[in-house]
Amino acid sequence: MTKEKEMYERKCAESGGQVHRELHAVKERLREKNTQLRVAREQSQKMLSIVKKFEGKHKDLAITLLCGVCCSTFDKPDILVYCGHSFSRVCLLQWFEQSMEQDLLHRCPLCRTPVNCVPVPNYALQFTLDVLFASGIIQAECKIMPDVRLPYDLYFHAEIDWEDEGDSGREENEDTRM
């Protein structure tokens, strides 16, 4: 039995070395997985922190995307050149129609600055709205264009064709604003 015992111990020693190597490899893989898990946890905590910060600002952002006339999300926002305020096109058309019916000067609905030229599309704001609508961050409010009789060009005098007037016409216009 001694020989059998020696053979058994030798086999155990040989297999023990193999088991030890396998155990070492498993421990190494476990360390790598733990490191990956820690990195993933840190990244998800950072993302969660960003989301929480954004949730607080989401309401502030939503308020800045509201038309000052109808208090709904902008629909085809136009900007008033002299004061820089933006409104939904439908709201501006209605506003100008009402002021025309009352024989008043056209003024900004918000700051009452005289409006002497045609409002222009606010492409930057429209792009921002399109991105936010597409991402689902804000919901589009469906606006049906009411029966507005007159387009902008009937509320304002014909625009100066700057290409025909050259730079001198532009300078005169800038002087009258100040």
Interval 31-66: pLDDT, tens: 998 998 898 888 878 777 766 766 666 667 777 888
Domain that holds residue 56: 1-64
Structure tokens at 89: 């096109």
Q: Verify that 86 and 45 share a domain, yes or no.
A: no
For residue 81, the 8-state DSSP code is: T
Residue 116 lies in a domain: yes
pTM score above 0.75: no
Q: Is 87:68 a contact under the CB 8 Å cutoff? A: yes
Residue 72 lies in a domain: no
Q: Verify that 81 and 28 share a domain, yes or no.
A: no
> For residue 28, which amino acid is it?
E
How far is Cα 141 from Cα 137, in angstroms, rounded to an integer? 13
Last residue of a domain, one of 40, 64, 88: 64
Structure tokens at 166: 């050259």
Number of domains in the chain: 2
Last residue of a domain, one of 64, 92, 116: 64
Q: Verify that 39 and 122 share a domain, yes or no.
A: no
Q: Verify that 94 and 171 share a domain, yes or no.
A: yes
Residue 71 lies in a domain: no
Residue 133 lies in a domain: yes
Q: Is 129:73 a contact under the CB 8 Å cutoff? A: yes
Within 10 A of 111 (CB to CB), how many other CB atoms are there?
Answer: 12
For residue 28, the 8-state DSSP code is: H
pLDDT in tens, 128-155: 888 888 877 766 665 544 444 446 666 6
Q: Verify that 90 and 145 share a domain, yes or no.
A: yes
Of 68, 71, 172, residue with least CA distance to 79: 68
Q: Verify that 32 and 109 share a domain, yes or no.
A: no
Residue 93 lies in a domain: yes
